[in-house]
Amino acid sequence: MNALPRQKNIAMSEFEKTALNKVVRGNKRAAYDEKTIFEIADSHFLCHLAYVYEGTPIVIPTAYGRKGNTFFVHGSTKNRMMNFLLKNERVSLTITHMDGIVMARSVFHHSFNYRSAVIFGKPSLITDWDEKMEALTLITENIIEGRWDEAREPNEKEMRATSVMAIEMTDASAKIRAEGANDEPEDMNLDVWAGVLPLQVTVGDPVRNDDCKPGLETPQSILQFEFDPK
């Protein structure tokens, strides 16, 4: 059985380390360069976004898209998250790939292999029609490439019922762990198995709607879909 590769090299920083984005713990696994951050962001479509509601931070999973340094999220105009996000000077959006469970000889050194990015930025509401349509395209295409052109575009009523928010990235950090278990020298001889149990998101066979029009073939966008292709 193959051993896991050692931790990937981490490129030079591009974001300045500030009190906000500085990774305090495990900083040898930290990265601040755009390339690493965008690689993590572009291989996922779900983030966890936090807003503060009467002093309590609330975390909500939601889809996102990206264009350059700007991330887009959307929701109903009646969505509490969307309305409260705008009251926050700065929000953060976290993207997490869970790649494996790391089993060490000691409980203490158990860990996960993962790739995660935390993106900080100021939220703003998109009011321009074309920008809003573009942002919705980016969110949709980030989930499943090619789908925007297959489905019916949002109409005026649907556009009015949707809020789209831009989060202009001002700071970000990433953490990556991609290696086997690291134990204390005095534990190396214990009779305890050490290694990694890999985890991966896999895609099942498409499940056609009961009321799907007969004769319609499963489109290419869906047949070729891969989550986080390596």
Q: If binding is defined by CB under 8 A, does position 37 make contact with its own copies?
A: no
Among 11, 90, 131, 224, binds its own copies (CB under 8 A): 90
Tokens 């985890």 belong to which residue?
Answer: 199
Of the candidates 107, 102, 106, the residue with the CA atom closest to the CA atom of residue 195: 102
Does position 226 interact with its own copies (CB under 8 A)? The reply is no
Interacting residue with its own copies among 48, 69, 86, 146 (CB under 8 A): 48
Nearer to its own copies by Cβ, of 12 and 113: the residue is 113
Of 10, 101, 125, 178, the residue at the interface with its own copies (CB under 8 A) is 101
- Paired strand residues for 93: 49, 119
* 10 vs 112 by CB, closer to its own copies: 112
CA angle 156, 162, 167 (to 5 degrees): 130
How many residues form the binding site for its own copies (CB under 8 A)?
102
Kindly state whether residue 27 participates in binding its own copies, applying the rule CB under 8 A: no
Contact call for residue 32 and its own copies (CB under 8 A):
no
Cβ at position 16, least distance to its own copies in Å: 16
202 to 221: interface string for its own copies, x by CB under 8 A: xxxxxxxxxxxx--xxxx--
Enter the tokens of residue 58. Answer: 């609330």
Q: Single out the residue of 164, 170, 174 nearest to residue 62, CA to CA.
A: 164
Q: Which pair of tokens denotes residue 90?
A: 């700065």
137-166: contacts with its own copies (CB under 8 A)? 140, 143-144, 147-148, 150-155, 158, 162
Q: Which helix (DSSP H) or strand (DSSP E) does residue 160 occupy?
A: helix 156-160
The DSSP element (H or E) to which 140 belongs, if any, is helix 129-143
Coil, helix or strand at residue 101: strand
In the complex with its own copies, the residue whose CB is nearer, 139 or 166, is: 139
Q: Which of 10, 33, 60, 125 binds its own copies (CB under 8 A)?
A: 60
Contacting its own copies within 102-141 (CB under 8 A) = 103-108, 110, 112, 114, 116, 118, 120, 136, 140
Sign of CA pseudo-dihedral 128, 132, 138, 141: negative
Nearer to its own copies by Cβ, of 12 and 213: the residue is 213
Query: What six digits make up the tokens of 157?
Result: 């009523």
CB within 8 Å of 83: residues ≥ 6 apart: 163
